[in-house]
């Protein structure tokens, strides 16, 4: 199919499920800001409908949605240049998701790693929404005909499924209507690992707060978490390749590279041979320098939630001008009488 016929448009989303962390920042938010600086339309979304696939206290969900909006803005997303919106405000997401529920196959959903991880051994007790989650995600992307989706490594499989859904829809209805979206997974920190266990992803839901750096952590907390991060007794090697079997050390080097905008080779040229007694304080200083202004700006924005709500209302209006005609055309293709 001629993908070139679609105007480049960027979409990405983050769940407002609390504990926005360094992995979200380096793997997603920082990349979003890079995209915003290019000559392309950008849409960023707080996916509140996705968040409720697992239980959320209503008051916490509302707070997390506003806090996430503050996190986007404090990280550099300008709601004038980009469209910043919460998912439930644009009903086209859920409407298109229903169509995609009827396109996607049970087998496709059952193979999703995130489903298997989150549902665990007790899949019978998981919500139906958790199972159908990737069809809603495909709708998020395709209701804007987005061509590029910047994400961390863990979302790659979902974007591939989005392509499968688009391809099956186009094939079944004999149209060339939905683009085959590209995942964009870039930078030194596409998979930031837990500070307590270098084989586990840094995650909002890890019960150990010491496993992650939250964007709401103050400078002392950030420095303490890095000082206490799990490592091994060896100094850093000279070459990055020699970190292959040292997941915790490698993770800290990747974080350093991403925060400082250096390549991992440049970090090793500077830090190779260093003991953690030298490397960790340097990393802590760097993290505080880069993250504290964001934390402070988030706190400032959160003092005026009404302003955040106004920004999101405006974002929804703009988003719907793109999404509504695409949903309308989808209904027409499917044969719904309009
Ligand atoms: P979520 O909310 O879990 O994460 C938001 C973004 O942060 C990235 N990320 C990470 N990157 C590096 N290291 C980590 N440890 C780490 N943890 C999270 C994620 O890859 C993601 O880019 N399903 C999505 C939300 C979503 C979405 C979408 C994304 C819904 N609809 C449409 C893109 C397009 C999710 O749960 O992300």
For a pocket test of ligand 1, which of 9, 10, 11, 14 has the largest count of ligand atoms closer than 8 A to its C-beta? 14
Name the pLDDT band for 1 (thresholds 50, 70, 90).
Answer: very low
- Looking from the CA of 88 toward its CB, the CA atoms found within 13 Å total 10
Q: Find out whether the beta carbon of 141 lies less than 6 Å from any atom of ligand 1.
A: yes
Taking 70 as the threshold, does the pLDDT of residue 160 lie above it?
Answer: yes
Q: Residue 271 C-alpha to ligand 1 middle, in angstroms?
A: 30
Per-domain residue ranges of the chain:
9-185+304-334, 209-299
Q: Give the E-state strand segments of the chain in sequence order.
A: 9-14, 41-46, 83-86, 148-150, 182-184
Furthest CA-CA distance within the chain:
69
What is the rounded distance in angstroms from the CA atom of residue 338 to the CA atom of residue 203?
43
Q: Find out whether the beta carbon of 28 lies less than 6 Å from any atom of ligand 1.
A: yes
Contacts of 142 (CB under 8 A, 6+ apart): 96, 100, 162, 165, 166, 178, 179, 181, 326
Taking 70 as the threshold, does the pLDDT of residue 58 lie above it?
Answer: yes
Q: What is the pLDDT of residues 73-106, one digit of tens each?
A: 999 999 999 999 999 999 999 999 999 999 999 9
Cα angle: 25, vertex 68, 219; to 5 degrees: 55
Name the pLDDT band for 57 (thresholds 50, 70, 90).
Answer: very high
Q: Residue 75 C-alpha to ligand 1 middle, in angstroms?
A: 16
Q: Find out whether the beta carbon of 162 lies less than 6 Å from any atom of ligand 1.
A: no
The residue whose CA has the least distance to atom 14 of ligand 1 is 23
The CATH number for 209-299, chosen from 3.30.930.10, 2.40.10.480, 1.10.240.10, 1.10.10.10, is: 1.10.240.10
Q: Residue 285 C-alpha to ligand 1 middle, in angstroms?
A: 26
Cα angle: 141, vertex 180, 104; to 5 degrees: 70
Name the pLDDT band for 2 (thresholds 50, 70, 90).
Answer: very low
Q: Find out whether the beta carbon of 24 lies less than 6 Å from any atom of ligand 1.
A: yes
Which CATH number does 9-185+304-334 carry? 3.40.50.620
Q: What is the pLDDT of residues 210-240, one digit of tens each?
A: 999 999 999 999 999 999 999 999 999 999 9
Q: What is the pTM of this model?
A: 0.97
Catalogue the active-site residues.
Answer: 118, 201, 204
Q: What is the pLDDT of residues 274-314, one digit of tens each?
A: 999 999 999 999 999 999 999 999 999 999 999 999 999 99
Q: What is the pLDDT of residue 5?
A: 81
């Amino acid at each position: 199919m001629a993908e070139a016929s679609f105007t480049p448009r960027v979409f990405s989303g983050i769940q407002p499920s609390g504990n926005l962390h360094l992995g979200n920042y380096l793997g997603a938010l920082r990349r979003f800001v890079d995209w915003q600086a290019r000559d392309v339309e950008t849409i960023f979304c707080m996916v509140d409908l996705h968040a409720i696939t697992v239980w959320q206290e209503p008051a916490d969900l509302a707070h997390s949605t506003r806090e996430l909006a503050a996190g986007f803005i404090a990280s550099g997303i300008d709601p004038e240049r980009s469209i910043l919106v919460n998912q439930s405000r644009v009903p086209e997401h859920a409407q298109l998701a229903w169509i995609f529920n009827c396109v996607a196959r049970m087998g496709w959903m059952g193979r999703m790693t995130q489903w298997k991880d989150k549902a665990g051994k007790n899949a019978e007790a998981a919500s139906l929404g958790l199972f159908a989650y990737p069809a809603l995600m495909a709708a998020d992307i395709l209701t804007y005909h987005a061509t590029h989706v910047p994400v961390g490594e863990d979302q790659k499989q979902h974007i591939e499924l989005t392509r499968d859904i688009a391809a099956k829809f186009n094939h079944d209805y004999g149209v060339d209507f939905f683009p085959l979206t590209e995942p964009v997974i870039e930078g030194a920190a596409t998979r930031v690992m837990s500070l307590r266990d270098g084989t586990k992803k840094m995650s909002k839901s890890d019960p150990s707060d010491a496993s992650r750096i939250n964007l709401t952590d103050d400078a002392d907390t950030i420095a303490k978490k890095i000082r206490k991060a799990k490592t091994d007794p060896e100094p850093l090697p000279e070459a990055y390749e020699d970190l292959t079997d040292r997941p915790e050390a490698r993770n800290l080097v990747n974080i350093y590279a991403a925060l400082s905008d250096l390549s991992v080779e440049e970090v090793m040229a500077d830090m190779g041979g260093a003991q953690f007694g030298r490397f960790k304080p340097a990393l802590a200083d760097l993290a505080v320098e880069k993250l504290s202004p964001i934390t402070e700006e988030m706190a400032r924005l959160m003092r005026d939630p009404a302003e955040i709500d106004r920004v999101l209302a405006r974002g929804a209006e703009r988003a719907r001008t793109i999404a509504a005609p695409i949903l309308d055309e989808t209904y027409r293709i499917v044969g719904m009488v309009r």
